[in-house]
């Protein structure tokens, strides 16, 4: 399927949950409402004409305009087509539905996005930090993050 | 002056100082605490392998701090790992030595400015005896570091306390 066909199929099925799309980009993307993510992803995975059964990557983004984002790169092993989904959420209430039930890969990827950006994944079974220490202050890849002067008595800046 | 530089001429008895004997024993069997944290560990392994054969200096890798004399910190020390390093260092029996191998554990290396998670030098948590520069240092450089440490041990004195330079 072409990105346009994927977009039209989603639009017909979910209507308002499809917020925005840019289909002539090098990696065509569709922006989804963050509170519709899970049901939409189940549909994308299971529907016979989409079968996006492989999540290649899940990334977090800080757009530096008060919004955080999650980017999903999806691939179909059956049909060999790709699509990128995006979901935006405000920085003061960063809530996105978890897709870890849809693709097992998403479990650790979402933990990393939580670790680095503080994005809360609603419905994640075990949302803990995965790389930084558990008591690390703040979310280091946010644009407004300041490196702490001391961490557990150890000086951090050079 | 090494202990065995003296010749056995008349009998099997020869005389040295206790200090000399202890230092010779220590510097000839520096058991190494394996502490490979990043790419420097690959060079450390190469130094252990047959081409460079670190074992001819008496350096044998051990996997427990209780059996080791020298900790070779090879690689990037993250803040998360720093507390573990401190604990393992505390578990080593004295006399104990530390070789900091590579730019990362010397001073933070390429992470010196933006490394929010990197300790800028392992000497912020444990005392270091020898710094080996390089990114990563070649095995020869590590061997040089071992020999520097041996020099240091050879000059140690029972009367003077161990000095951290």
Tell me the nearest-neighbour CA distance from A23 into chain B, angstroms: 35
Do the Cβ atoms of B116 and A140 come within 8 Å? yes
- Which residues in B have their CB inside 8 Å of a CB on A? 79-80, 82-83, 107-108, 112-113, 116-117, 119-120, 124-125
Question: Hey, what are B88's tokens?
Answer: 């393992």
Cα B100 off chain centre by: 7
State the Cα–Cα distance between residues B111 and B58, nearest whole angstrom: 33
Do the Cβ atoms of A154 and B119 come within 8 Å? yes
pLDDT of B1 strictly over 70 = no
pLDDT of B165 strictly over 50 = no
Yes or no: say if B17 and B56 are a contact pair by the CB < 8 Å rule.
Answer: no
Residues B117-164 pLDDT 10s: 999 999 999 999 999 999 999 999 999 999 999 999 988 887 766 555
State the Cα–Cα distance between residues B117 and B94, nearest whole angstrom: 30
The DSSP code for A150 is E
- Interhelix angle B139-154/B40-48, rounded to 10 degrees, is 70
- Which residues in A have their CB inside 8 Å of a CB on B? 131-133, 136, 140, 145, 147, 151-152, 154-158
- Residues of chain B positioned with their CB less than 8 A from the CB of A130: none
CB-CB neighbours of B136 under 10 Å: 23
Instruction: For residue B59, say if its preceding peptide bond is cis, omega within 30 degrees of 0.
Output: no
| Residue A103 vs residues A11, B17, B87: alpha-carbon distances, Å | 22, 70, 39
Residues A86-99 pLDDT 10s: 999 999 999 999 99
Do the Cβ atoms of A154 and B125 come within 8 Å? yes
pLDDT of A71 strictly over 90 = yes
State the Cα–Cα distance between residues B147 and B130, nearest whole angstrom: 10
pLDDT of B3 strictly over 80 = no
Yes or no: say if B160 and B141 are a contact pair by the CB < 8 Å rule.
Answer: no
Predicted confidence band of residue B103 (pLDDT cuts 50, 70, 90): very high
- Residues of chain B positioned with their CB less than 8 A from the CB of A131: 117
Tell me the nearest-neighbour CA distance from A128 into chain B, angstroms: 15
Q: Is B90 exposed, middle or buried (0-12, 13-18, 19+ CB in 10 A)?
A: exposed
User: Nearest residue of A to residue B112 by CA position?
Assistant: A158
pLDDT at residue A57 in the model: 93
Question: Hey, what are B12's tokens?
Answer: 């099997």
Yes or no: say if A105 and A55 are a contact pair by the CB < 8 Å rule.
Answer: yes
pLDDT of B106 strictly over 60 = yes
pLDDT of B6 strictly over 70 = no
pLDDT of A129 strictly over 60 = yes
Say what the pTM is.
0.81
User: Nearest residue of B to residue A147 by CA position?
Assistant: B116
pLDDT at residue B114 in the model: 86
Q: What is the rounded average pLDDT for all residues in chain A?
A: 91
- Percentage helix, strand, coil for chain B under 3-state DSSP, each rounded to 5: 40, 10, 45
Pick from B76, B84, B116 the residue to mutate for testing the A interface (most A CBs within 10 Å): B116
Question: Hey, what are A106's tokens?
Answer: 């998403």
Yes or no: say if B92 and B33 are a contact pair by the CB < 8 Å rule.
Answer: yes
Half-sphere exposure for B62 (CA within 13 Å, toward CB): 18
The DSSP code for B36 is B
Yes or no: say if A110 and A121 are a contact pair by the CB < 8 Å rule.
Answer: yes
Residues B25-75 pLDDT 10s: 889 999 998 888 989 999 999 999 999 999 999 899 988 999 999 999 999
A109-145 b/e with 16+ CB inside 10 Å = b? Answer: bbbbbbbbbbbbbeebeebebbebbeebeebbebeeb
Residue pairs between chains A and B whose CB atoms are closer than 8 Å: 31
State the Cα–Cα distance between residues B121 and B73, nearest whole angstrom: 10
pLDDT, greater one: B8 or B27: B27
* ipTM attached to this prediction: 0.76
pLDDT of B2 strictly over 60 = no
């Amino acid at each position: 399927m072409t990105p346009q066909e994927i977009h039209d199929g989603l639009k017909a099925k979910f209507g308002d949950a499809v917020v925005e799309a840019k289909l002539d980009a090098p990696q065509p993307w569709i922006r989804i409402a963050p509170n519709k993510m899970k049901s939409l992803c189940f549909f994308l995975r299971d529907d016979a004409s989409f079968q996006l059964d492989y999540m290649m990557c899940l990334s977090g983004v800080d757009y530096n305009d008060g919004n955080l984002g999650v980017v999903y790169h999806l691939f179909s092993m059956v049909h060999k087509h790709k699509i990128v989904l995006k979901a935006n959420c405000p920085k003061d209430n960063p809530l996105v539905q978890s897709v870890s039930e849809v693709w097992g890969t998403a479990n650790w990827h979402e933990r990393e996005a939580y670790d680095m950006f503080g994005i809360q994944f609603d419905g994640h079974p075990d949302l803990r930090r995965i790389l930084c220490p558990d008591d690390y202050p703040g979310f280091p890849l946010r644009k407004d993050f300041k490196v702490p002067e001391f961490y557990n008595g150890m000086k951090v800046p050079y | 002056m090494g202990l065995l530089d003296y010749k056995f001429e008349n009998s099997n008895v020869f005389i040295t100082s206790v200090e000399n004997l202890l230092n010779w024993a220590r510097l000839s069997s520096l058991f190494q605490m394996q502490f490979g944290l990043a790419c420097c560990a690959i060079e450390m392994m190469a130094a252990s392998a047959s081409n460079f054969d670190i074992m001819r200096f008496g350096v044998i890798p051990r996997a427990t701090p209780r059996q080791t004399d020298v900790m070779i910190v090879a690689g990037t020390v993250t803040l998360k790992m720093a507390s573990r390093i401190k604990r393992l260092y505390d578990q080593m029996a004295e006399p104990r030595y530390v070789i900091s191998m590579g730019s990362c554990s010397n001073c933070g290396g390429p992470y010196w400015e933006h490394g929010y998670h990197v300790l800028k030098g392992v000497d912020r948590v444990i005392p270091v005896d020898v710094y080996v520069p390089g990114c990563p240092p070649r095995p020869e450089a590590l061997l040089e570091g071992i020999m520097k440490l041996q020099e240091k041990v050879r000059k140690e004195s029972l009367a003077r306390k161990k000095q951290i330079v």
